[in-house]
Amino acid sequence: MDRGEQDGGRHKKLDAFRYVITYKPYDILCSRRDRYGRATLRDLGIPRGLHPAGRLDRDSEGLLLMTNDGLFLHRLTHPRHYHPKTYLVLVLGQPDEQALHALREGVEIKFGLTRSADVEIMRTVPELPPIDEQLPSPEKTTWLRIVLYEGKNRQIRRMTAAVGHSTVRLVRVAIGPLRLPPDLVPGKWRDLTLVEEKVLFDWVWPHGRPKPKLDSK
């Protein structure tokens, strides 16, 4: 597979499918341009022609998978496939069992009732890179591990706010079996390894990738 060539953030034309994993930093827009001049993925030197498989808000961070493989992108992001995405979420206060039950079973937000989610309180503070943002003191917050099976706009923030615990930091650490590599720091990216590609493809297409339809003309 031709993976292209990197040269100071500029890349030759992508003439084959490419799959890139990056740690999207806090305060970076998940787009290539911004009318107000705010930092975007373009500032990270990510190749043109790649599109994110599930966006992250400007104030969210973590694993971002990008590709120019349209069929793969559709399969990974379409709501009917229920692909799990894992997040580490810092919220204000300490959610009680009633709040946790609501998050797990579904809460009413702007877009309707959310699907069931896996939610648990983390017993240890995760080791994460610092961000340029003043966070509340640890005794005023709680870390949650949340696995979503859908992806509505700002869904986790809306969910935690609905049960009375605002989100103050949100980090995506996994998409299905693909986890954020511990050595990938904010703002850096690389192509998936062949092993990572195989694991991801076997998960997305457990019975094999469908063959392209022949042109009937």
| pLDDT at residue 215, rounded to an integer | 53
CATH 3.30.70.580 assigned to domain 16-78+176-204? The reply is yes
CA neighbours closer than 13 Å in the CB half-sphere of residue 66: 27
Q: pLDDT per residue over 77-121, tens digit each? A: 877 777 899 999 999 999 999 999 999 999 999 989 999 999 999
- At 69, the amino acid letter reads D
Average pLDDT, the chain: 89
84-172 matches 16-78+176-204 in CATH topology: yes
Q: pLDDT per residue over 128-172, tens digit each? A: 999 988 999 999 999 999 999 998 889 999 999 999 999 999 999
| pLDDT at residue 63, rounded to an integer | 98
Q: Quick check: 201 pLDDT over 60?
A: yes
Q: Give dist(CA 211, CA 199) in Å, integer.
A: 19
Q: Give dist(CA 152, CA 60) in Å, integer.
A: 14
Q: What is the pTM of this model?
A: 0.89
- At 67, the amino acid letter reads T
Q: Give dist(CA 130, CA 30) in Å, integer.
A: 20
CB 171, CB 26: distance < 8 Å: no
What is the chain's length?
217
> Which residue among the candidates 27, 43, 57, 59 is catalytic per the annotation?
57
User: Annotated catalytic, 57?
Assistant: yes
DSSP code of residue 135? P
| 8 Cα distance to chain centroid | 25
- Domain ranges in the chain? 16-78+176-204, 84-172
- At 11, the amino acid letter reads H
Q: Give the alpha-carbon dihedral of 16, 56, 187, 25, to 10 degrees.
A: 180
CB 74, CB 131: distance < 8 Å: no
CATH of 84-172, one of 3.40.50.620, 1.25.50.10, 3.30.70.1560, 3.40.190.10: 3.30.70.1560
Q: Give dist(CA 152, CA 111) in Å, integer.
A: 8
Q: Quick check: 7 pLDDT over 60?
A: no
